[in-house]
């Protein structure tokens, strides 16, 4: 019986603590400074201003670029809030995985549904 | 707020010392607390498991009676047992009861009871949320069934309740309202419990219990929890829309206003297909524990088992529209979903081959549990094969909405799911209750059920191919349907007999138990951690949390290879097992608030249907209970606790027993 | 799902020093993990409602569509308010975890207030729409619109209730540095609700309906 094959040894401990290292902020501890948060908020505000700007077509004609740029700006905002304010970039990857699992599944399943409804044509 | 509850219990891996720091003190529950009130406030995962199991068996009887009514009506042409209207209600409530009130909670019983034991934990991550899940589930189950009394009848739209059939125009009683709200309540219960069990599996494993060492039952249950986690919100959306349509005149499924009823079908089946894996995967897990034990071999291809389970879990999200081949979704969609459905058979086939390979060359012991397990594999394979025939869209166009479909899903659900869980009942009964189920009666139970099952559902393949459509309340003479319908009805009565035999077995084996030798910790010479502790399981599960060194760790405590490479016994069960005598292990305190929260929800439901003031009362009750819950300390400050016992606990380690 | 990174054997570490309050297999807090798992599930809930609206947004049954009455400048302001509440939320957390209870309370209150302004804006928006002929039962588009945004509004309101509960707990001295994690959990929920609105604002309001 080759039961012994199963007694592999666990990986050395890596995890929450180890994964802090991929954060590229300048403090020594896990959480960025208030000023860093404020900077992110400023970026978010600027992007939002840009988004709203697209609404006033008279100022600038975005043409076919409109929808892709709106989606792009949305994704950037989404990403910034998730990684900074929700700390995904400083926390264990497991959290992010749980969330992205749901997110990608939702995007995939509902895009297929809309496709079956011929939403895009 | 419930979700943000402070970690109620840090019964982490084995160290009790850290509880000493707790300013509030902790609670050691009296061992003798067996009054009924203790069951209402219990947060013990084992008791909650038992509550789930017992309630599931109750609803099995309810759903079974509904099934028998269906079969009596259809036994002969022009049946008159039920009116057409009542027939619609009975088959709908039969399907809903069996799926949501029988098989899912029975699987939840296994999940609650055995996940912590198999990973070496003392409870789940959130014991009070666990109690909450059960009580919400029960309140939803009762709510759903009260529609027979106060709702003017059960839902009558079939268990998948397609729009526009589910609208007020075609279903004027309150049955569908009860369906929409009841399933939402049940969904909350399963969602909370899935989060709880996922965190438990990821975060409460004993030292050394890596993911790839977890028993396959725990793996399959974990995958099931992920499916629940992601599938339930989808049906919740659908039910939400349906509820607004019916109660508040929304326009979601009103084609006259330009709405598309197919939206319901998509949402339902995006949930519905993962749901069938939610039903079957726990049974796969059970079978994967039983077959190795009674073959005296490790599971063949553990990694393949785990990864095929994960693959099924993934692919289950990409096949839903195979339920809609005749709904007019267009040739490209049909072709795509037809293909994806054919592929999903592959990981399932891998599992079947692995079970066969596990038995191959093993020293087989055909106990009742093993018989049920083998029958599960065989019957599931039949159901799987007819499933592959539906994946071929042109063939399915002939089969859909006929009895061929009814035959198919009963072979997978009953033949796979129910037989599998019965195998689990026979296997783990001694662990839970401290005595065996009677094997002789068990054999009667098994053979009558197997014959009855095949006699009931086998002929439905023929009926379906002959063109008998599903969900008709009767049929005329002369179509050639008479003989096989009568056979199916006889078969269903046999199933009923077998269930009675099971019930009798439960009673009789309890009565006989005092005169029989106790099973001891490990009666089957099994492999996973729950067999290393006494039967019945002591309230604190493990005296010391085990240190795990490999897969099937418990088995390796008993057996090792000698110099010639043959496997020999190195320790008796008594030597290797824990005694269960540790005292003063800290357990979370019981609480009545989960029950109180759960009582509010059906009130909201009745309120939405009948009178919004009632909904307000229900909401206030729920919110007040949630606040009281949040205020209540996790550990009862008044309970006494003797710290000296901690040291004693630490002494009785099993680590020295490792080979 | 790849198993390897999850098998980190923290159990050992916890056993050795024995007194680690948060000794769990992964070393992560149960509650925080539970919250993230829950948020993963919420994606499918909001995704379903958003898809429903997208499918129906042009189905007016001959009556006014929500897109006809959108007031983008107004919604932009309230979206901005909600966005900024994420900043105050994260500042509340960082204050509480530094032990600055006073500042923590201020930021909590500010967050709740911004959330309240958003909800107020939504109430105003809804009543205006109804006045302009787009009510809940008008057409599939309006039903889908009100259900989606209303459901989001309920999420925001629940968040406000949680924030106020934290505020009260803090006043009573029950919310200190030691349970900063509670603030973090509520924060996660709050940011998630904000993220959903980022999505809704673009996909439902800004992208023109042909
Ligand atoms: C006691 C044995 C059982 C019998 C005799 C039985 C009989 C039937 C029959 C005749 C139907 C078809 C009704 C129709 O389409 O006209 C049906 C439907 C169904 N059954 Fe069973 N059943 C049994 C057990 C179960 C179990 C254990 C489950 C699930 C765990 C189950 C799940 C379902 C479902 C989901 C449907 C579809 C309901 C619908 O069409 O909406 N049944 N059953
Ligand atoms: Cu399916």
Q: How confident is the model at residue B33 (pLDDT cuts 50, 70, 90)?
A: low
Alpha-carbon distance B600 to B304, whole Å? 45
Minimum mean pLDDT among B381-390, B428-437, B460-469, B629-638: which range? B629-638
pLDDT in the model for residue A59: 62
Kindly report, residue by residue over B512-563, the tens digit of the pLDDT.
Answer: 999 999 999 999 999 999 999 999 999 999 999 999 999 999 999 999 988 8
CB of C188 within 8 A of CB of C36? Answer: yes
CA distances from A71 to A44, A102, C18, C79, C92 (A): 14, 20, 49, 16, 30
Domains in chain B: how many in total?
1
Kindly report, residue by residue over B259-289, the tens digit of the pLDDT.
Answer: 999 999 999 999 999 999 999 999 999 999 9
Phi, psi (degrees; rounded to nearest 5) at C157: -60, -40
Determine, yes or no, domain membership for B418: yes
Query: Whose Cα sits closest to atom 27 in ligand 1?
Result: B414
Kindly report, residue by residue over B586-596, the tens digit of the pLDDT.
Answer: 788 888 899 99
> To 5 degrees, how large is the angle CA B559–CA B561–CA B564?
145
Alpha-carbon distance B328 to B330, whole Å? 5
CB of B218 within 8 A of CB of B282? Answer: no
Task: Determine the structural domain holding residue B79 and report its residue range.
Answer: 53-510
Q: Which of B91, B403, B450, B495 to mutate to test the pocket of ligand 1 (most atoms within 8 A of CB)?
A: B91
Determine, yes or no, domain membership for B326: yes
Within 6 A (CB) of ligand 1 lie B 64, 67, 70-71, 91-92, 94-95, 98-99, 102-103, 158-159, 406, 410, 413-414, 417-418, 456, 470-471, 492, 495
Q: Does C52 contact B237 at a Cβ distance shorter than 8 Å? A: yes
Residue C7 alpha carbon to ligand 2 centre in Å: 33
Q: Burial code of B228-262, b = ≥16 C-beta within 10 A, e = fewer?
A: bbbbbbbbbbbbbbbbbbbeeebbbbbeebbbbbb
Look at residue C16 and tell me whether its pLDDT is greater than 50: no
Determine, yes or no, domain membership for B589: no
Kindly report, residue by residue over C96-109, the tens digit of the pLDDT.
Answer: 999 999 999 999 99
Look at residue B382 and tell me whether its pLDDT is greater than 70: yes
Q: Which residues of C touch A41 (CB under 8 A)?
A: 83-84, 86-87
Minimum mean pLDDT among B95-99, B558-562, B636-640: which range? B636-640
Please report which residue ranges of B366-438 form alpha helices under DSSP H: 368-391, 393-399, 403-410, 419-433
- Ligand having the closest approach to the CA of B276: 2
Q: What are the beta bridge partners of residue B568?
A: B560
pLDDT in the model for residue B34: 59
Q: What residues of chain C, 156 to 175, have a C-beta less than 8 Å from chain A?
A: none
Look at residue B365 and tell me whether its pLDDT is greater than 80: yes
Ligand 1 atom showing the smallest separation from residue B453 Cα: 2
Q: What ipTM did this prediction achieve?
A: 0.90
Kindly report, residue by residue over B312-329, the tens digit of the pLDDT.
Answer: 999 999 999 999 999 999
CB of B228 within 8 A of CB of B100? Answer: no
Helix (H, G, I), strand (E, B) or coil at B587: strand
**Considering chain B, what percentage of its residues have pLDDT values greater than 90?**
83
Determine, yes or no, domain membership for B612: no
Look at residue B644 and tell me whether its pLDDT is greater than 50: no
Look at residue C166 and tell me whether its pLDDT is greater than 70: yes
Q: What is the DSSP string of B124-141?
A: -S-HHHHHHHHHHHHHHH
pTM, rounded to two decimals: 0.89
Alpha-carbon distance B456 to B112, whole Å? 32
Computed over every residue of chain B, the mean pLDDT equals: 90
- Ligand having the closest approach to the CA of B97: 1
Q: Does B202 contact A94 at a Cβ distance shorter than 8 Å? A: yes
Determine, yes or no, domain membership for B315: yes
Domains of chain C, earliest start first: 29-206 (1.20.120.80)
Look at residue B31 and tell me whether its pLDDT is greater than 50: no
Min Cα separation B300/chain A (Å): 10
Determine, yes or no, domain membership for B301: yes
pLDDT in the model for residue B201: 96
Look at residue B129 and tell me whether its pLDDT is greater than 60: yes
Closest CA to B85 of B170, B195, B189: B170
pLDDT in the model for residue B634: 63
Determine, yes or no, domain membership for B13: no
Closest CA to B87 of B485, B554, B475: B475
Q: How confident is the model at residue A64 (pLDDT cuts 50, 70, 90)?
A: confident
Look at residue A22 and tell me whether its pLDDT is greater than 90: no
pLDDT in the model for residue A58: 65
Look at residue C188 and tell me whether its pLDDT is greater than 90: yes
CATH number of residue B441's parent domain = 1.20.210.10
Q: Which of B410, B417, B458 to mutate to test the pocket of ligand 1 (most atoms within 8 A of CB)?
A: B410
Minimum mean pLDDT among A60-69, B126-135, B569-578, B606-615: which range? A60-69
Determine, yes or no, domain membership for B625: no
User: Dihedral of CA B511/B512/B516/B520: which sign?
Assistant: negative
Kindly report, residue by residue over B456-471, the tens digit of the pLDDT.
Answer: 999 999 999 999 999 9
pLDDT in the model for residue B60: 98
**Considering chain C, what percentage of its residues have pLDDT values greater than 70?**
89
Phi, psi (degrees; rounded to nearest 5) at B47: -65, -40
- C: neighbours with 3+ CB pairs under 8 Å? A, B
Ligand 1 atom showing the smallest separation from residue B60 Cα: 27
Helix (H, G, I), strand (E, B) or coil at B569: strand
């Amino acid at each position: 019986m080759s039961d012994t094959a199963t007694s592999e040894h666990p990986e050395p401990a890596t995890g929450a603590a180890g994964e802090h290292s991929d954060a590229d902020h300048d403090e020594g501890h896990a959480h960025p400074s208030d000023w860093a948060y404020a900077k992110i908020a400023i970026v978010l505000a600027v992007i939002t201003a840009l988004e709203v700007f697209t609404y006033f077509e008279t100022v600038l004609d975005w043409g076919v670029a409109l929808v892709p740029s709106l989606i792009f700006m949305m994704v950037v905002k989404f990403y910034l809030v998730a990684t900074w304010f929700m700390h995904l970039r400083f926390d264990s990857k497991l959290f992010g995985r749980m969330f992205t699992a749901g997110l990608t599944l939702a995007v995939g399943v509902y895009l297929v549904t809309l496709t079956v409804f011929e939403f895009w044509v | 707020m419930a979700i943000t509850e402070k970690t109620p219990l840090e019964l982490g891996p084995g160290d009790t010392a850290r509880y000493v720091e707790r300013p509030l003190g902790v609670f050691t529950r009296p061992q003798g607390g067996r009054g009924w009130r203790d069951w209402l406030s219990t947060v013990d995962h084992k008791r909650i498991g038992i509550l789930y199991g017992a309630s599931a068996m109750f609803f099995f009887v309810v759903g079974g009676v509904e099934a028998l009514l269906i079969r009596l009506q259809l036994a002969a042409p022009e049946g008159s047992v039920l009116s057409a209207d009542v027939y619609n209600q009975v088959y709908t409530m039969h399907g809903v009861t069996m799926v949501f009130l029988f098989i899912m909670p029975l699987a939840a019983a296994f999940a609650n009871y055995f996940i912590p034991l198999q990973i070496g934990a003392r409870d789940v991550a959130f014991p009070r949320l666990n109690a909450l899940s059960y009580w919400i589930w029960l309140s939803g189950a009762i709510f759903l069934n009260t529609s027979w009394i106060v709702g003017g009848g059960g839902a009558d739209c079939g268990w998948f309740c397609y729009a526009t059939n589910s609208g007020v125009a075609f279903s004027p009683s309150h049955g569908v309202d009860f369906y929409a709200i009841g399933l939402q309540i049940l969904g909350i219960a399963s969602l909370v419990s899935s989060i709880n069990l996922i965190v438990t599996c990821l975060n409460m494993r004993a030292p050394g219990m890596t993911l790839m060492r977890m028993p396959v039952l725990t793996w399959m249950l974990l995958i099931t929890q992920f499916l629940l986690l992601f599938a339930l919100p989808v049906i919740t959306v659908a039910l939400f829309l349906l509820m607004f349509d019916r109660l508040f005149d929304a326009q979601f499924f009103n084609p006259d206003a330009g709405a598309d009823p197919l939206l319901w079908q998509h949402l339902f089946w995006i949930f519905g297909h993962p749901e069938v894996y939610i039903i079957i995967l726990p049974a796969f897990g059970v079978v994967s524990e039983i077959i190795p034990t009674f073959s005296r071999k490790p599971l063949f291809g553990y990694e393949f088992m785990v990864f095929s389970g994960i693959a099924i879990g993934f692919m289950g999200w990409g096949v839903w529209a195979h339920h809609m081949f005749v709904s007019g979704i267009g040739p490209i969609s049909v072709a795509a979903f037809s293909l994806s459905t054919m592929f999903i058979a592959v990981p399932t086939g891998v599992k079947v081959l692995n079970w066969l390979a596990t038995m191959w060359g093993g020293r087989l012991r055909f106990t009742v549990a093993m018989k049920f397990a083998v029958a599960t594999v065989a019957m599931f394979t039949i159901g799987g094969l007819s499933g592959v025939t539906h994946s071929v869209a042109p063939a399915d166009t002939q089969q859909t909405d006929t009895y061929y479909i009814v035959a198919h899903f009963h072979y997978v659900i009953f033949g796979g799911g129910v037989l599998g869980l019965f195998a689990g009942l026979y296997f783990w009964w001694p662990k839970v209750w401290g005595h065996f189920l009677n094997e002789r009666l068990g054999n009667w139970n098994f053979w009558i059920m197997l014959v009855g099952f095949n006699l009931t559902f086998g002929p439905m393949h023929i009926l379906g191919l002959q063109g008998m459509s599903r969900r008709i309340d009767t049929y005329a003479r002369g179509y050639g349907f008479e003989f096989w319908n009568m056979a199916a009805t006889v078969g269903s009565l046999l199933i009923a007999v077998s269930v009675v035999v099971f019930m009798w077995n439960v009673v009789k084996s309890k009565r006989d138990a005092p005169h029989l030798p106790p099973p001891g910790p490990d009666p089957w010479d099994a492999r996973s951690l729950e067999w290393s502790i006494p039967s019945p399981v002591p309230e604190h599960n493990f005296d010391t949390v085990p240190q795990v060194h490999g897969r099937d760790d418990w088995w390796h405590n008993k057996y090792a290879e000698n110099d010639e490479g043959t496997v020999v016994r190195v320790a008796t069960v008594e030597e290797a097992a824990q005694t269960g005598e540790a005292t003063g292990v800290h357990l979370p305190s019981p609480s009545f608030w989960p029950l109180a929260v759960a009582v509010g929800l059906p009130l909201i439901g009745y309120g939405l249907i009948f009178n919004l003031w009632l909904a307000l009362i229900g909401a206030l009750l729920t919110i007040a209970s949630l606040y009281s819950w949040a205020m209540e300390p996790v550990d009862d400050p008044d309970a006494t606790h003797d710290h000296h016992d901690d040291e004693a606990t630490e002494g009785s380690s099993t680590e020295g027993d490792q080979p | 799902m790849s198993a390897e990174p999850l098998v980190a054997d923290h159990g050992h570490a916890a056993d050795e020093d024995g007194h680690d309050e948060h000794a769990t297999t992964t070393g992560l807090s149960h509650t925080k993990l539970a919250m993230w798992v829950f948020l993963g599930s919420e994606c499918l809930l909001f995704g379903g409602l958003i898809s429903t609206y997208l499918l129906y947004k042009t189905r007016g049954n001959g009556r006014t569509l929500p897109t006809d009455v959108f007031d983008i400048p107004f919604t932009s302001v309230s979206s901005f308010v909600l966005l900024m509440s994420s900043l105050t939320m994260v500042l509340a957390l960082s204050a509480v975890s530094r032990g600055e209870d006073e500042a923590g309370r201020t930021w909590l209150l500010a967050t709740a207030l911004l959330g309240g302004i958003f909800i107020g804006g939504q109430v105003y928006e809804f009543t205006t729409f109804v006045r302009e002929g787009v009510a809940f039962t008008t057409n599939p588009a309006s039903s889908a619109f009100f259900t989606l945004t209303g459901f989001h509004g309920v999420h925001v309101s629940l968040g406000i209730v949680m924030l106020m509960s934290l505020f009260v707990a803090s006043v009573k001295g029950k919310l200190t540095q030691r349970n900063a994690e509670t603030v973090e959990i509520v924060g996660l929920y709050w940011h998630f609700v904000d993220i959903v609105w980022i999505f809704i604002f673009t996909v439902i309001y800004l992208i023109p309906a042909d």
